[in-house]
Every structure is written in structure tokens, then in C-alpha cells.
Chain A
Amino acid sequence: MKIASKNPLNIIIVGCGNVGTTLVAELSKEGNNVTVIDRDEEAVSTITGTYDVMGFHGNGASYGLLKEAGIDDTDLFIAVTESDEMNLLCCTVAGRIKECSTIARVRDPEYSRELNYLQERLGLTMIINPEFETASEMLKILSMPAALEVNTFFKGFAEIVKIKVEPKSLLDGITILDFSKKTKGAVLFAAIERDDTVSIARGDFRFREGDIVSFVAPRRGTKERLKLLGLPDDTIHDCLIVGGSESAFYLAKSLSASGIKVTIIEKDEKRCNELSSLLPDCIIINADGSDENILREEGLLSTDAFVPQTGMDEENIILTLHAKRFSEAKVVTKINRAFFSDVVKSLDLGSVIFPRIITSEAIVAYARARRASKDSNIESLYHLYGGRVEAIEFLIRNESRITNVPLKDLRLDNGVLIALIERDGDYIFPGGNDCLLVNDSVMIVTTNFGYGDILDILDEE
């Protein structure tokens, strides 16, 4: 934990829901001074009893309470209550009292078109829309059905793709070194999960069925690499969504924009009417999506992709298990709450999306960048393998100990892999003779936590 030792931020978080709790866990784990505010006294005392944070109960937009909670020393203010308006108000008030970074969660699609305007006019640092982010994560996976999870770097031009080694597949029983020789080093493996332990890829590692492997690729090259790995690279043509949540709306909108036939099953008639007027190209079914016969009638058995998006995690999981059993469709499951993660993991659900983690990743990346020195910048950060691996993209700003030195001469920490370098639009799989230069973007994959600066990856013992 390198970052925990230097300049902790003073952070106030308003709202102790799913996202709020995840943020508290992540940000306090990194050594920041976190204060939470919520209207619900019970929620506050639960959080202060579990994490090393201070809590206040009351209205997060109230001047008096914010003063009490120490807004005068705050560096970062985050509002993630249930209500968009409340979040915007909290951030506006906080921003007026103290020049601090403010982050608000805004989910309503009506605002989503005006986010830039709101952000600029209200002086917000960042507006996050978890529903939209969730939908775009889903979209990435759906556009590459062979992958379990896809994360993008370098503004979408490179990807980390997670796949599962199937029995009797090309990878089963081969070492990374042999595979690289066979394919002339076209695929760079990043990390492997086997039997609940995750490790960074090394040449002598021998794949086995059931391993969860991730590899790095520039975007245009992903499909061809999937082929090299013996995986199908087909795309989907239709998609069945259960539940008409906000993220379902965002997903349906972008899917149908690229010509995919989308069917949404939603229980609530009013919501169906809304969706139908918002999404004229989609088929909206007013029915209970947890009814087997309805699912069959709407083509679960033949659909290419199935996305359960009801508000209930338990229902989503059951629907996924049902779909896995009866159809060949690519299934993406959304799980909101952090509950029984070990059991959920053991269920073999395939691709799972955790909206609260997507939200917290963006904010944690921002907080780390605030704390780091000015030699480099965190551009993006992802938690892979249930938070056990971090993939971070740094932009190198200045000359330092790490620049202009061949990589083979750098002493890196254990469990760090320099995965990809972007230089003037080219993507380089780094070898021992390559150097890092100023203005490079570097993607590293690591099992260590808390890197906030590119210099942190050096082993400085």
C-alpha cells in the first residue's frame, strides 16, 4: 500500500447506499480521512461500526451540518444519495462553502443529455451516471460474446479481455511461452485466476481448463486474437432484456442504434409506456419476466444474448442460471448489492457486472490521482478479478528515474506487469529493450494495491 503513506485526502460522502458503502470501503482502505452523512441514522451507525470513518446523520445539503462535518478542510466531496436533485444541491452547496472537488451521481436520462451543461454551470468536477456506465460495460461484453469481461484503456483504443479456458481448447495444457512461440508473441497475457488465487502471467505458467485468463490487445486486434485463441468471434443479432431499469434503457438504446433487435420485458405498465415512447425501435413486452413461459414465448431459447436487469439481484441470478441451462445465449448479469460474494462467484454466472464497483473505480482513480505527485497522471483504473488485480493507465508527464531506462534494467515490484505502451498512436507490447518516454501512456497490471504514481511500481527496498 504505497499511497496510504502520503497525503491522505479529507473526503465527505453523502449517502450510504450501495455505491456510498463501496466508496467508503475503497477510499478508507486507501488511508483517506472519510466522513459520511446520511439522513438515516441506522445506516450511518452501521457504516461507522464497520469502517474506520466518522458519521453524521442529517441533511447533506445543510450548511450547518456540512460545517460540522468539517467541509472547511475537505478536498473531495461526493454526493451519491438516491435523488439526483439532492446530489446536485449537495455538491453546489459544498462547492460554494469550500473550493473542493465535487462529484455527483446523476442517473435520470433526462439530465443525461445535459450533463456537460450541468457540470460546467454548477462547477462540478465530475458527474457519474452508474446506469449509463453499466450499460456501456454490458455493451462491450455483448459485442464480444466470447469474453467474460472487457475493460477499455487509452480512450477505448486498447482492451483487457478476460476469457475462460475451456476443456480441450487451444490453450488447455500449454505454457505461456510455448503459446507465444506458436503465435509469434501476438497475445500478451496479463493475469490468471486459478483456484481462487490470482497471479500475474509468467512465461512458465501452464494453462489448465477452468483458468480465467486475461489478455491485452489494441482494439482493432482483439477479434483476430480471439481467433488465435480458438474462440468464436461472432457478434450478436438480437438481445432479450428482462426489467426496464435505467441501465436497460441505455443498453437498449445503444444496441438498437447498431441495428440489433432488442426485446424488453417489463412488469410495470407505466414504465412500459415510457420505454415504448423512448425506444420506438425496440419491442416492449408488458409481462412478468420471471415467468418461464413468457421467456420461452419471447424467444429465450433462440436469442443470441440475454440480460436480466431487474431490481432484485436474487431474481437476476436465478434468471441467469435458468438461461445458462436452457439456451446458448450470451448472458450478462447485473448485481447491485455486495452480498454473499463467495457464493455468487461459485455459481458460474459467466459475465457479471457490478454497477457499484464501476462507479467506485472512477472515483478511486480520481482520488489517487489527486494524491500522487505531478510526475504522472492516472488516466483510468479498473479492478479486475473481484478487486484482486488492478489495471491502471498512467500518462507520463515528466522525466524521472523510470524514463529513458530499458525496461530490463528497471527493478519492478513483484506482481507488476507493464502491459502496453501507447506512443504517438502506436501500441507497443513492451520488451526488455524498450524504454518509457515522456508523454507515453502506460498500462500496468498488478496484484499490488494503491499505486498512484508510475514511480510507485519500482521496487525501492
Chain B
Amino acid sequence: MNRKMISYILGMVCRAEGLLLLLPCLASLYFREHEGYHYLLTAGIALFISLILARKKPDNTMIFLREGCIATALSWIVMSLIGCLPFVMTGEITNFVDALFETISGFTTTGGSILSDVEALSKTSLLWRSFTHWIGGMGVLVFVLAVVPLSGGSNINLMRAESPGPSVGKLVPKLSDTAKILYFIYFLMTIAEMIFLAIGHMPAFDNICISFGTAGTGGFAILNTGLATYTPYQQWVVTIFMILFGVNFNFYHFLLIRRFKKAFMMSEVRTYFIVIILSGLVIAINTYNTAEGVSATIRNSFFTVGSIITTTGYSTVDFNLWPSLSKVILVFLMFSGACAGSTGGGIKISRLRILTKSVFREVNKYYHPRSVKKIKEDGEVLDEETVRSVGVYMCTFAVIFAISLFIVSFEGRSFETNFTAVAACINNIGPGLSDVGPTGNFGSFSIPSKIVLMIDMLAGRLELYPLILLLNPSVYIDRAGEVRAHFRKRRRLHKQDR
């Protein structure tokens, strides 16, 4: 285990966060708020930690998949621990666990809040909350890979651990260039959304926060009413951009390098759009009432579908009051999630496609027991390893879900609340149904439940395994063996000297 390299990567992540924390500092200067000092102090702490951890680049920079996963999981935990400090220091969230929940919810782009009155927060804190979505959406390690020259090919293992999807590849030969392209697309689309919202006369501060939340598919709103009070134009802009950020970023890369045919042939993206259109229409018909009018119904229906399938979690209406058919569709969309390689969470459309195909293959085996059939995606044969890992991913997902549901159930709330609370966290959505619906929040849960939900959020964002790996005792016990080996070597050198 290359501990020095893990600590170096953690240090780099702290450094990145320290620099990113300067954005809310600038905002506080502009709004003349005192909270800025706390953010500045936190930035200082982050940079200090990075100085300790990344003092010197280790000689051996080789990391394997396990180091990549552990470094990623630890990075996200450390990042959240640092990121929640300002909330505690400013006293805006008094309880440490609550502050941590809010920050993890931000970084994992969940968007589920423990606050009942977000408008009471300072502008600085509101901006930081939304900015955590933007940082977490594309992933902070991808950011580190883009700006820090970590040479060596083994760093693909960092990206594998952080980027969502069944198989992670590069867009261009060099990892740092791939990371730069991803951030370039991300940045460009965020700016585009800001421009479109500005055209619709959204106030600048709301514009920035909402755009950050959309880009990372996060979902922290800055008004207690969610997005309900914004104009229809603004809501449509947010709807479209939510859906666009849920598309696999490979699609945009293909567009950028002008390989349009390849882009539009991506079956995952096609399925994604078909699912959105179908669910949007069914919900619109199901929720139609004459009082609201056709256009508002369609708008609310597509906004909600886009918000849930991309796991953003913004709301314009209280969908908790919708008929149960619509709610069931929404629960399905919660689990399906967006495309692999996007900023969205959930199980991912591509995994579901592969699973469906393997189910058909299995059925076919009953007719022709000796048949050989390979599963294809986009005209390419998937290797059995990917198919197998998708199956195992689903099982792991179900097990974690079941355990979390069991623990949360001790709260004594309704089944709908418990089920959708866990679903909303593990799929990084934010709002669920019933008590945790769009008008509710997670504030009233007990501390053990909150801890379980925090773990679920991280597990969901990092695609389960990096976090589970941390529970593996050999990650820590291994240390004893290294110490023994160290002393053996010293004894030997000592003997040689004599």
C-alpha cells in the first residue's frame, strides 16, 4: 500500500479545496458579510493541512486500483469535514453532525437539507452550499488531475474511482488532458446556463447559485419555496440544463470533435431521452387539472421528471400531493438515475440497459441451453467482466439499501418516508416523498439515521466500492506488516555494518 502517495493526493485535494474556499470569501467582501472571515480561516486550515500532507512528492508515485479507491474515499471524507467547518464557525448550523450532513449532501450533489429555513443563511454560506455542488458534480479529484501534474499512468485509478459508470475510459490519450476537456465542457455549459438565465432577468446571485446547483445536478435551492416562484422561462431553462447535465459527457466530446454520427448513435443517451419524454407525458396526463392549465402542467411535469432522473432535486411543485401513479414513476426515476459519465447519480441508464439485456439473455438460455450470446452496446461486444460487475453492483446496491432502510426504520416513521429518504440519499437526489418530500427536510432525523444517510450519500456518489473498501480491515492492519518489514530491513543493514 502506497500510503505516502495517498497522503500526497489528500494534500492536493485539501489545497484545491482551500483555493476554492476563496470564492465565498470574495462573495462576502461583495456583500459585506462577516461570515467571510470564517471562510478565510477555513481556507487557511485547508492549506495548512495540505502543507503537512503534501510536503514532498513521494519517490514512488505508483498507485494501484486499491490505493486509487482509498485515496478517493478519504478525499471525499476529508473534503466534507473541512467544508462543514464554516457552517459551525458562523453558528448558522449549530450541530456538527447537521453541518457535516449539509456539506456531504452538497459535495455528493444530493441536495437534501437539514435546514427548514434556508433564507436565514448568509449569502456567503448560500453561495458556498451551491458551490459545493459544482465542485462535487465533476469531482474534485478530476479537478486535481486536470491542474496538478501527477505523472504516471496509474492515476487512471483515481478517475476510475470517482467517475460514475460501469466502465471508465479516457477521451484522449493523456489523463490530464481528459480531465481538462471534461472541466472545459462543464465550465462552458455552466456559463451557458448563466447566460440563458440572465436573459430571463433572474437576479445575479440566484442565477449563480441555481446554475451551480444545476450543473452538479445538486439541488440546494436558496429560497424556501424551491424554484416555484421563478418565471416559466427560467424554469424551462433550468429544466433543459438539468437534462443536459445528465447526458454522458462523451456525447459532448464527440460533438466537440465533430463526430456527430457517433454522438447521436449513443444508445444510452437515446434511451435517456426516451425515458424522459415518456415519463413526462404520462405524469402530465396523470396530474392534469383544469385549474392549472395545460402549459403549467406540462412545465411542472417535465421539470420534476428532469429534476428526479438527473438526481438534481429542485422542485417547482409539491409532487408529494400528486396521484400515486406519478409518484411511483418518480420513485422509478430515482433509481434509474442519469447517464454514466454525467454529473448525475443513481444506478445509471447504461447499467440498466446492460442488466435488461442480460435478463433477456438468461431467458433465451432456457430455450437454447447451449446458446452463446454476447451482449453488445453501441455495436461493441461488452466483455463478460463488465456484465458481471454490473450484476454484482446491483446486488451490493440492494444490500446497502436494505441495511440502511432497516436502521432508518427505527425512527418509527411511515414506510414511504423511510424508503424514499434512503433512496433520495443513496441516489444523490435530495427530496423524497412524504416527510422528506419537497416541502420537508432531513433535520428531524436522529443522529444515527443521519450518519447512515451520510454514508449512503457518499457510497452513492462514489459508486459504492471505494467506500466499502475503507471498511476492509486489511487497509489498516496491513500497516503492522509494513512496520515489521521495516524493522527486519533495519536489523539486516545493522548486521551488515558490523
Chain A residues proximal to chain B, CB less than 8 Å: 10, 28, 33-35, 41, 48-54
A49–B153 touching, CB < 8 Å: yes
Q: 30 A-B contacts, Cβ less than 8 Å apart?
A: A10-B173, A28-B153, A33-B172, A33-B173, A33-B177, A34-B173, A41-B383, A48-B156, A48-B170, A49-B65, A49-B153, A49-B154, A49-B156, A49-B157, A50-B153, A50-B154, A51-B152, A51-B153, A52-B151, A52-B156, A52-B173, A52-B174, A52-B175, A52-B176, A53-B153, A53-B173, A54-B169, A54-B170, A54-B172, A54-B173
Cβ distance A36 to chain B, nearest Cβ, rounded Å: 9
For the complex, what is the distance from the CA of A35 to the CA of B172, rounded to whole Å? 8
For the complex, what is the distance from the CA of A10 to the CA of B172, rounded to whole Å? 10
Question: In the complex, what residues of B have CB within 8 A of residue A10's CB?
Answer: 173
For the complex, what is the distance from the CA of A51 to the CA of B170, rounded to whole Å? 12
Question: In the complex, what residues of B have CB within 8 A of residue A41's CB?
Answer: 383
Q: Report, as a range, how many residues of chain B touch the other chain.
A: 10 to 19
For the complex, what is the distance from the CA of A48 to the CA of B152, rounded to whole Å? 11
For the complex, what is the distance from the CA of A54 to the CA of B157, rounded to whole Å? 14
Question: In the complex, what residues of B have CB within 8 A of residue A51's CB?
Answer: 152-153
Question: In the complex, what residues of A have CB within 8 A of residue B156's CB?
Answer: 48-49, 52
Question: In the complex, what residues of A have CB within 8 A of residue B418's CB?
Answer: none
List the A residue with the shortest CB-CB distance to B177: A33
List the B residue with the shortest CB-CB distance to A35: B173
Tell whether B124 is near chain A: CB-to-CB under 8 Å. no
Question: In the complex, what residues of B have CB within 8 A of residue A53's CB?
Answer: 153, 173
Question: In the complex, what residues of A have CB within 8 A of residue B176's CB?
Answer: 52
For the complex, what is the distance from the CA of A50 to the CA of B383, rounded to whole Å? 20
List the A residue with the shortest CB-CB distance to B262: A68
For the complex, what is the distance from the CA of A450 to the CA of B153, rounded to whole Å? 19
**Residue among B65, B152, B174, B175 facing the most chain A CB atoms (10 A cut-off):** B174
Tell whether B155 is near chain A: CB-to-CB under 8 Å. yes
For the complex, what is the distance from the CA of A54 to the CA of B383, rounded to whole Å? 18
**Given A34-B173, A35-B173, CB of A52 within 8 Å of CB of B155:** yes
For the complex, what is the distance from the CA of A49 to the CA of B156, rounded to whole Å? 7
B153–A33 touching, CB < 8 Å: no
List the B residue with the shortest CB-CB distance to A32: B173
A33–B174 touching, CB < 8 Å: yes
The 9 A-B residue pairs with the shortest CB-CB distance, nearest first, are A51-B153, A52-B153, A33-B173, A54-B173, A54-B170, A52-B175, A35-B173, A53-B173, A50-B153
For the complex, what is the distance from the CA of A48 to the CA of B155, rounded to whole Å? 10
For the complex, what is the distance from the CA of A54 to the CA of B172, rounded to whole Å? 7
Mark B127-164 against chain A: 1 for CB-CB distance below 8 A, else 0.
00000000000000000000000011111110000000
Cβ distance A77 to chain B, nearest Cβ, rounded Å: 14
List the B residue with the shortest CB-CB distance to A33: B173
Mark B187-227 against chain A: 1 for CB-CB distance below 8 A, else 0.
00000000000000000000000000000000000000000
List the A residue with the shortest CB-CB distance to B176: A52
Cβ distance B69 to chain A, nearest Cβ, rounded Å: 14
Cβ distance B382 to chain A, nearest Cβ, rounded Å: 11
Question: In the complex, what residues of B have CB within 8 A of residue A28's CB?
Answer: 153, 173
Interface residues of B in 58-114 (CB under 8 A from A): 65
Cβ distance B492 to chain A, nearest Cβ, rounded Å: 16
Cβ distance A76 to chain B, nearest Cβ, rounded Å: 13
**17 additional A-B residue pairs with CB within 8 Å, beyond A35-B173, A49-B156, A50-B153:** A33-B173, A34-B173, A41-B383, A48-B153, A48-B170, A49-B65, A49-B157, A50-B154, A51-B153, A52-B153, A52-B156, A52-B173, A52-B176, A53-B153, A53-B173, A54-B169, A54-B173
Question: In the complex, what residues of B have CB within 8 A of residue A50's CB?
Answer: 153-154
Question: In the complex, what residues of B have CB within 8 A of residue A49's CB?
Answer: 65, 153-154, 156-157
For the complex, what is the distance from the CA of A35 to the CA of B174, rounded to whole Å? 9
List the B residue with the shortest CB-CB distance to A51: B153
Question: In the complex, what residues of A have CB within 8 A of residue B169's CB?
Answer: 54
**Residue among B151, B152, B153, B176 facing the most chain A CB atoms (10 A cut-off):** B153
Question: In the complex, what residues of B have CB within 8 A of residue A54's CB?
Answer: 169-170, 172-173
